Amino acid sequence: MDLVKRYVAAVQRELPDNKREEIGRELEANIMDQLDAQAEQNGPLTDNAIASVLKAMGHPRQVAQQFAPIAPLIASEHMQIYRYTLFMVLGILLVLQVFNSTANWLEHDFGLLLFVKSILSGFIEDASFAFTTITLGFIVISRAKPQYLQQAKEWQVEQLPSLQASKQHISLQDIVTDLITDTFLLAVISYLLLLSPEDLAGKTVWLTAHTQQVLLLGLPLLVVGVLLSLWQLSARQWNKGMQLLNIVLNIGFVVIMLYLAFNGPLLQIDQQNWPQIYGWERLQHAATWALLIGACWPAYEVIRDVIRLRRLSLSKIG
């Protein structure tokens, strides 16, 4: 039985110190039971037969992980929201970097290779910082003792939501997308509106005073949007009040976007420093179309929530 003791010792070396003795005894008893069962069927076991049993159990490191699995840096229950958050932030950073690099390209008219290099270098730098920050944040969250563990111990089958309630479930992906988008827009618009005249000096392209005033009116809507996303994150279920608030909020976004699109100009441009090969009228039209296309999403959410609210009312009547 020297092979058995060597196998158990190899497994114990992969285990934490406080679990080696207990797991070692349990593992050895389990192996001996299997060997005794085979010996009853096939007679005395040879070293080759014992080795076959031990090999079938797996590598000592794999067996050790079965008894004492290594805790991941980010808990599995947080992995979905971590992935959504990471992808959303990296996507926003990429769009922002493309916008900044394009603005610098239009102002200074440098080569295409330098333009691509500007996008890649800026995005890699920002993405590295974002990845590190988000990952460290979720590691801290994973190390805390979450409330849902206590709720998981106390849950009852009778408390499961009805089939009708399942149709009102809020997707975690939708919540995270709205939360990150509203927070990002809130931060960017606040930053743009708080720039000093010294910071604005020398800029070839900037927002008109009219556009800045309208965006200032949109800040409260973004704050409400962030609070609504946090409410959805805690409830994870649509209700009448939440849907009405979401409808009003998205109508506000649609109105602001359409107002800006049809009451231009959106941008003020220093035509003396503007490259003549790029028509500034085309830039204005592109900004207008971007607003019109962007308004389609909150408009869709208004229609979607009106339909959901109607179904919810009909279900209560029924």
For each of the chain's 318 residues, which pLDDT tens digit applies?
Answer: 678 888 889 988 888 888 888 888 888 888 888 888 888 887 787 888 888 888 888 888 888 888 888 778 888 777 888 888 888 888 888 887 887 787 677 666 667 788 788 889 988 988 999 899 889 888 887 776 555 555 555 656 665 566 555 567 787 778 878 888 888 888 888 877 787 776 666 666 678 888 888 888 899 999 999 999 888 888 778 888 888 999 999 999 999 999 998 887 887 766 665 555 555 677 778 888 888 998 999 999 899 888 888 877 776 655
Query: Omega into 60 within 30° of 0, i.e. cis?
Result: no
Q: Is 298 helix (H, G, I), strand (E, B) or coil?
A: helix
- Using alpha carbons, list the distances in angstroms from residue 257 to 134, 211, 260: 31, 10, 5
Radius of gyration of the chain (CA): 30
273 vs 106, 109, 195, 196, 204, CA distance in Å? 10, 11, 21, 21, 6
What CA–CA distance (Å, rounded) separates 163 from 185? Answer: 36
**CA 86 vs CA 8, 77, 89, 91, 131: distances in Å:** 42, 15, 5, 8, 7
Q: Indicate the domain borders of the chain.
A: 2-67, 199-318
With 0.85 as the threshold, say if the pTM is over it. no
